[in-house]
């Protein structure tokens, strides 16, 4: 019997593990997953719940430990230092080597830092990995106050985590409101108010200028407005970037991420890249070249498995969607709601007076075609919006049928009339 092809996957996150599971489902290939971070795959999005005491580390593992042996997926805990593409050889730490026939790079993200002096002081950190979480435990043992730089998804999680330990938090946000580079201004202001209602101090239009240390530890920071704020913890959450530093000097072409075509193939044959580390050379219309989110990482994992097993079809993530939580408000987004819409996109924003529910609907003003929706504190049905986006429904249809998309039909019994009249009133006026 010929020896089965050896597929090596670097990275045991959702992208790499999805690829491994699907390759096993449809083939008999030898599969090895290498990762430096943890023995087993865990749910990165749930890291915060371990710190907050809602879950134990074991609860983050979606599969029992026996799953891997049973499915003949070999796990190797090691860091890959170098890839030699000509000989198809990986160089690991401790002088180990491993050969591959096909290689999948699923190396995820690392936190982005600002390049300011003092970022190497203890007490200054990002939050991406298991090791970051462990460091946060250590850094907050005797923490009296914290500053977080950056108003994004990881920043708000960090704020909520620290809040559960009664650590006063100040967030420095460069924009006018929270996560305004992704959310329209009214949505961003709505979320800023919500975060503030939990006792987090938000400093909008404020940047980090200087980090002051004492005995190797962060002691205070200075802001762009000249204020000095004392802190024992400085959380840097200004975004993540693809984890590709170890590819320097290899034949594999990179830009901000690892460049791939629509078949997730790099410039080197038999090497693919998926998940947070991949950068699409020609992104699908309306999509970004790097999409560092859970579900696209999973979709790329499924797609590359098919491709490697001889069923080449193009990566097609369908309509954009995502969800997150800002303290106790759940956020969902479907389709395209631009932070700064151009002429071909108009927004209708509605907010409940209690400050816990809101939505923004985007549409094309010329054709009235529904483009997308952001909802806050209202749970929507993915499959309904996905269908409406694919069918290119018009705005009026969507508004009239919102009830179908809602998990809580009573919500619309109570608010439908108000949303409709607000829509009529707002759409008569020019948008601000």
Ligand X SMILES: Cc1cc2nc3c(=O)[nH]c(=O)nc-3n(C[C@H](O)[C@H](O)[C@H](O)COP(=O)(O)OP(=O)(O)OC[C@H]3O[C@@H](n4cnc5c(N)ncnc54)[C@H](O)[C@@H]3O)c2cc1C
Enumerate binding residues for ligand X (CB under 6 A): 10-16, 34-37, 44-45, 47, 79-80, 106-109, 127-128, 153-154, 157, 243, 246, 275-276, 292-295, 297, 322, 324
Distance of alpha carbon 286 from alpha carbon 294, whole angstroms: 18
| Six-digit token string for 239 | 């975004």
Q: Least distance from C-beta 407 to ligand X, angstroms?
A: 18
Give yes or no for a contact between 409 and 336, defined as CB atoms under 8 angstroms apart.
no
Residue with Cβ nearer ligand X (155 or 184): 155
Residue 105's closest CA among 3, 26, 13? Answer: 13
Q: Least distance from C-beta 108 to ligand X, angstroms?
A: 2
Residue 191 phi/psi, 5-degree rounding, is -70, -40
Residue with Cβ nearer ligand X (190 or 321): 321
Q: Least distance from C-beta 232 to ligand X, angstroms?
A: 21
Q: Least distance from C-beta 2 to ligand X, angstroms?
A: 29
Q: Which neighbouring-strand residues pair with 347?
A: 362
Residue with Cβ nearer ligand X (212 or 322): 322
Q: Least distance from C-beta 278 to ligand X, angstroms?
A: 8
Q: Least distance from C-beta 291 to ligand X, angstroms?
A: 8
Give yes or no for a contact between 314 and 263, defined as CB atoms under 8 angstroms apart.
yes
Q: Least distance from C-beta 215 to ligand X, angstroms?
A: 29
| Six-digit token string for 323 | 């969800």
Q: Least distance from C-beta 201 to ligand X, angstroms?
A: 21
Q: Assign residue 59 a region: left if phi > 0, alpha if psi is -120 to 50, beta otherwise?
A: alpha
Residue with Cβ nearer ligand X (246 or 412): 246
**DSSP secondary structure string, 231-265?**
-SEEEE-S-EEE--GGGTTSSS-BSSSEEE-TTSB
Helices 14-26 + 294-308 axis angle, to 10: 30
Residue 424 phi/psi, 5-degree rounding, is -60, -45
Residue with Cβ nearer ligand X (93 or 228): 93
Give yes or no for a contact between 53 and 63, defined as CB atoms under 8 angstroms apart.
no
Rg (CA), the chain: 23
State the DSSP H helix or E strand holding residue 354, giving kind and residue range, or none if neither: none
Residue with Cβ nearer ligand X (78 or 427): 78
Residue with Cβ nearer ligand X (223 or 301): 301
CA 13 to chain centre: 13
| Six-digit token string for 141 | 């043992």
Residue with Cβ nearer ligand X (127 or 188): 127
């Amino acid at each position: 019997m010929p020896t089965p092809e050896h597929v090596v996957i670097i990275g045991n996150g959702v992208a790499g593990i999805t690829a491994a599971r699907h390759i096993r489902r449809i083939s008999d290939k030898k599969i090895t997953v290498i990762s430096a971070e943890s023995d087993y795959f865990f749910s990165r999005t749930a890291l915060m719940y371990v710190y907050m005491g809602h879950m134990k580390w074991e609860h983050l593992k979606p599969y029992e430990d026996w799953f891997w042996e049973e499915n003949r997926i070999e796990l190797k805990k090691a860091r890959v230092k170098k890839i030699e593409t000509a000989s198809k050889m990986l160089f690991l730490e401790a002088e180990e080597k491993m050969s591959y026939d096909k290689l999948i790079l699923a190396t995820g993200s690392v936190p982005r830092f600002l390049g300011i002096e003092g970022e190497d002081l203890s007490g200054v950190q990002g939050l991406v990995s298991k090791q970051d979480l462990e460091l946060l435990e250590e850094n907050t043992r005797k923490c009296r106050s914290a500053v977080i730089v950056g108003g994004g998804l990881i920043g708000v999680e960090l704020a909520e985590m620290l809040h559960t330990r009664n650590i006063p938090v100040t967030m420095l946000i460069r924009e006018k409101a929270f996560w305004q580079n992704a959310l329209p201004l009214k949505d961003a202001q709505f979320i800023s108010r919500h975060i503030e209602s939990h006792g987090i101090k938000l400093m909008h239009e404020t940047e980090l200028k200087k980090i002051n240390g004492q005995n190797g530890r962060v002691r205070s920071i200075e802001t762009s407005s000249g204020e000095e704020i004392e802190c024992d913890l400085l959380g840097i959450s200004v975004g993540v970037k693809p984890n590709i530093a170890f590819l320097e000097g290899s034949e594999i072409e990179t830009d901000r991420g690892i460049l791939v075509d629509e078949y997730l193939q790099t410039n080197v044959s038999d090497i693919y890249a998926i998940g947070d580390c991949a950068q699409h050379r020609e992104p699908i219309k309306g999509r970004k070249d790097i999409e560092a989110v859970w579900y696209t990482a999973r979709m790329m994992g499924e797609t590359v498995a098919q491709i490697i097993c001889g069923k080449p079809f193009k990566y097609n993530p369908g309509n954009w969607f995502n969800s997150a939580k800002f303290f106790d408000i759940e956020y969902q987004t479907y389709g395209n709601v631009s932070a700064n819409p151009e002429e071909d996109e108009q927004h209708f924003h509605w907010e409940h007076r209690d400050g816990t529910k809101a939505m923004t609907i985007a549409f094309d003003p010329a054709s009235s075609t529904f483009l997308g929706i952001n909802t806050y504190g209202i749970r929507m049905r993915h499959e309904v919006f996905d269908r409406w986006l694919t069918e290119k429904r018009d705005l009026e249809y969507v508004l009239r049928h919102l009830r179908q998309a809602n998990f809580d039909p009573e919500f619309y019994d109570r608010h439908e009339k108000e949303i409709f009249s607000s829509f009529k009133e707002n759409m008569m006026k020019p948008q601000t």
